[in-house]
Amino acid sequence: MSSPSTSHETLLRVEDLRVEFHTDDGLVTAVRGVDWELRAGETLGVVGESGSGKSVTALALMGLIPQPPGKIVSGRAMYRGQDLLKMPSRALSDIRGNRIAMIFQDPMTALNPFLTVEDQLTEVTRRHMGLSAREATAHAIDMLEKVGIPSASKRVFEYPHQFSGGMRQRVMIAMALSCKPDILIADEPTTALDVTIQAQILELMKELQEQEGTAILMITHDLGVIANIAHRVQVMYAGRVVEKATVDELFANPRHPYTLGLLESAPRVDKLEAELRPIPGQPPDLSKLPGGCSFRPRCPFSIADCSRIDPPLVKSNSDGSYACLVNIDEAPRHDATSQISEELS
């Protein structure tokens, strides 16, 4: 995919973000010092297995980490000269839903069950765009039509429980897109939708991006969605970013063994004949991380130093970096399944 047509101005810069949760099982370090930037007009994809810290990163930016049990231990998130992580909650709520909108993984996080869809969609546009009641209702109906809700002019007056799961997801997408935000954080926005609606929603996001220069942070498990919409990608593993690359580089020339594992374990339209190779084992327990590289127990390229050194991100090219001691193009590949069973025994 080509790079974004709009400017390369950085809209949001996240530095050394660390988030912990105090749980009954101990201290869970969900995000362990991530650094990244989101540029105007681009889509930055975030991929990684369940529990890798994708949602926690997004919730931290929106000021929505439940504290306790959570705590933002360090970090900055600079947006237009202000640190979102230090902003008073009033100021942050003015930005939230207006300049920075989020599509949540669970639609009921964002929708109020006691208010009609019209109440919820018009609240943001009346508050932030200054629309009259009549204009706001017309705008809400228009947005519902855009996300593919049939009979939108009737259904806008219904409550969230009267919508199916996939439709609630679309209502939330309509709400997030309503104010034409600078930044759209989309956390698995299309996972609950069938493929035709999914394609429609991705097109709608691209359209918004082309018209308004919206920057999108797209969190997803689905590498197909990444290939479709992202310009750059970052791969998360156990609370850290282990690789960053342009989408073309990531698919053609992954540098981190975990990225390679994700690509080899997912079916690809461009490589239908390729054998699928699942990544053996499970992501680590974040309250009991092994020393050294956290991917080492599952890694088919690991060497002795990997149990000692947790490698930092190093640059691979102007837009890419990865956190691994090994060059996977040259290193011998071993069977990580037997490595895992040896360690368990």
Contacts with ligand ATP, residue ranges (CB under 6 A): 21, 23, 28, 30, 48, 50-56, 66, 69-70, 105, 286
Site for Mg ion in 170-189 (CB under 5 A): none
Q: Residue 127 and residue 268: Cα distance in Å, rounded?
A: 44
Q: How many residues bind Mg ion, per CB under 5 A?
A: 3
Between 55 and 120, name the residue whose CB sits nearer to Mg ion: 55
| Residues in contact with Mg ion, shown as a per-residue x/- string from 75 to 114 under the rule CB under 5 A | ------------------------------x---------
Instruction: Name the phi and psi angles at 97, rounded to 5.
Output: 80, -10
Q: Is 224 exposed, middle or buried (CB count within 10 Å of its CB: 0-12, 13-18, 19+)?
A: middle
Between 67 and 317, name the residue whose CB sits nearer to ligand ATP: 67
CB of 184 to Mg ion, least distance (A): 16
Amino acid 117 reads V
Between 105 and 125, name the residue whose CB sits nearer to Mg ion: 105
CB of 240 to Mg ion, least distance (A): 16
Task: Kindly list the distances between the CA atom of residue 316 and the CA atoms of 214, 249, 250, 301, 302, in Å, as whole numbers in the listed order.
Answer: 28, 10, 11, 18, 19
State the CB neighbour count (10 A cutoff) for residue 37.
Answer: 17
Between 35 and 158, name the residue whose CB sits nearer to ligand ATP: 35
Instruction: Fill in the DSSP letter of residue 119.
Output: H
* Contact (CB, 8 A) for 240 and 294: yes
Under rule CB under 5 A, residue 246 binds Mg ion: no
User: What is the signed CA dihedral for 115, 118, 120, 126, rounded to 10 degrees?
Assistant: -130
Query: Which entry of ligand ATP, Mg ion, none binds 34, CB below 5 to 8 A by partner kind?
Result: none
CB of 190 to ligand ATP, least distance (A): 14
CB of 46 to Mg ion, least distance (A): 10
H runs (alpha helix) in the chain: 54-61, 89-95, 107-110, 117-129, 133-146, 152-155, 165-178, 195-212, 223-229, 247-252, 257-265, 336-344
Under rule CB under 5 A, residue 57 binds Mg ion: no
Task: Kindly list the distances between the CA atom of residue 158 and the CA atoms of 146, 151, 173, in Å, as whole numbers in the listed order.
Answer: 18, 11, 17
CB of 191 to ligand ATP, least distance (A): 9
Query: Which entry of Mg ion, ligand ATP, none binds 286, CB below 5 to 8 A by partner kind?
Result: ligand ATP
Residue nearest to Mg ion (CB): 55
Query: Which entry of Mg ion, ligand ATP, none binds 28, CB below 5 to 8 A by partner kind?
Result: ligand ATP
* Contact (CB, 8 A) for 252 and 268: no
Specify the 3-state DSSP secondary structure of 314.
Answer: strand
Amino acid 93 reads S
CB of 106 to Mg ion, least distance (A): 9
* Contact (CB, 8 A) for 260 and 249: no
Query: Which entry of Mg ion, ligand ATP, none binds 48, CB below 5 to 8 A by partner kind?
Result: ligand ATP
Query: Which entry of Mg ion, ligand ATP, none binds 45, CB below 5 to 8 A by partner kind?
Result: none
CB of 54 to Mg ion, least distance (A): 5
Under rule CB under 5 A, residue 55 binds Mg ion: yes
